[in-house]
Amino acid sequence: MKKPLRLIILILGTFIYLQCGSQNWSGKKLEELETSFHSKNYFLLKDRLKRGPSSDMPVVLYYKAAVESAFNNPGESIQYLNQIASIDLIPDTLLTDIWAMKINNYLRLHAYSDALHAADSVLQIADLPKEKENDIRNARRIAAALRDIPPQSITKSGDSELKLKGTHIDVTINSHQRDYAYDTGANYSILMKSEAEALDLQIIEAGIDVGTATGKRVKGDVGVAESLSIGNMTFEHVVFLVFPDEALTFPGGFQLHGVIGFPVLEAMGELQFQNGILSIPKDPPIREIQNLALENLTPLIEFTYEGNPLIGRLDSGAGRSVFYEPFFRRFYSDKVSPSQVDTIKAGGVGGIVEHPIYWLDTITIGMADTTVMIDSIYVHTKVMGNPSQNHLYGNIGLDVLNKFDTYILNFEDMAFIVE
C-alpha cells in the first residue's frame, strides 16, 4: 500500500492544492499520515488527523474513512468514501483503495448486495495489482453467494453468563447443541463441511480461495445458519465459511469442527472475561477509553516494549502470544547469532509449517495502563506471508490475557479494559 499512496500524493499534488485552498496539509504532514496508515497505527493516525486542519483533500478524506472503519464505524467510513468518489479526476490507484474499503465496510454491515456492487465496480478498473485483484475477487465470491441473504441480526433477552470450556463455548445452531471455539482473530465463523451438513445449514457454493500458512490454497463455500443461540442471545442469518473436512483435520487426527468468529462476537457488544466465566451484558456500558482498532475484521491493540509503542493483534483464539519479524528486526537482530535460531511447527487451515524463531525467556510489555510479564515467548526471525503486509509486531494471546483477573472487550466503543 505504501508505494501507491506515495504515488497518489505526488499525482494529486497540484490538483489537491488548487481544490482545497487554505485547507492544505504540508507534504511532510501527509507523509506522517501515510506512515501511520501504512503501519496500521490507527491510534496515531486518528490523533494526527484530529490535530491537523479541516480538509476535503481526497487523500485526507481517505485516511478519515480508514480511521472510522478501524474504530468500528463502517457507515461513517462509507460517507467519507462517497465524498471522495464525488470529486472529479481521482486517480485509479485511489479509486481502487476506495472501492476496496467500501467492500470491507459493506461486508461488516452484512450489506451483501452493496458489497457485490462495489466489487464489480473496482474490477472494472484497468491494471489492478494482482494481489489486490485476487482479494477483491474473493470478497466478490462471498458477496455474490450472500446477495439474497438478510443481514445478520441479534436479539438479547437478558444478560448472558457462559461457563468457558477452555477456549470453547456452548452454542445451539438450528436446534443442534455444540461447543465451538470462540476466536476474535477469526475474520469469519468457520465450519467443517460435515458439520455444516449435520447442522442443516444452507450451504451456498462460492469457490472462495483461501491461502494458508503452508502455502497451499483451500477452496471454501459459505453456509448460513438461520438461528444461532448463545446464552440469552439469539442470532439470525449467521454466515460461516465452510471448508472441506480434510482442510480442518490436522496431524494426529485433531479436527476443528467449528469456530465462532469475529462477526458474531462483535455483535455481542461487550465481552467480560473473569475466572472462567464469559459475561455479556444486555446493555453494554459506555466506555470512555478507545484502545482497540480493527484492520478489516482483525482486532488490533497498542502495547509497549521498552517504552516503544507497538501495534499487534489481539487474538483470543491463540493460546500463546508471539512476536513477529518487525519486533525481531527492531530489537534483537543485532543480538542474536544464527546458532541461537530455533524452529517451531505451527498449524492452521491447510496443515503444518515450520518457522525459524528465537526464544525469549522472559519479557515485560505494557498494555491497557499496566505491565505484563510473559514467560518463554518466541519471536519470528523471518517474514511470514506477504512482505508488503509485514507491519505488525506481534499477536497477543490467552497467555497474556489470562494473567488479568478480569479483562473486557467492548466492540461498541472499541475498548480493552483490565481489572
Kindly give, in sequence order, each residue whose CB lies less than 8 Å from that of residue 353, ignoring residues fewer than 6 positions away: 213, 214, 215, 345, 346, 347
Q: What is the pLDDT of residues 245-298, one digit of tens each?
A: 998 988 788 899 999 999 999 999 999 999 999 999 999 999 999 999 999 889
Q: Is there a contact between 242 and 201 (Cβ–Cβ < 8 Å)?
A: yes
pTM score, whole prediction: 0.89
Domains observed in the chain? 2-146 (1.25.40.10), 153-280 (2.40.70.10), 292-418 (2.40.70.10)
pLDDT at 1: 41
Q: What is the pLDDT of residues 42-97, one digit of tens each?
A: 999 999 999 999 888 999 999 999 999 999 999 999 999 999 988 888 888 999 99
DSSP state of 188: S
Q: What is the pLDDT of residues 212-230, one digit of tens each?
A: 655 678 899 999 999 999 9
Q: Is there a contact between 394 and 302 (Cβ–Cβ < 8 Å)?
A: no
Query: Strand, helix or coil at 238?
Result: strand
Number of Cβ within 10 Å of residue 133's Cβ equals: 15
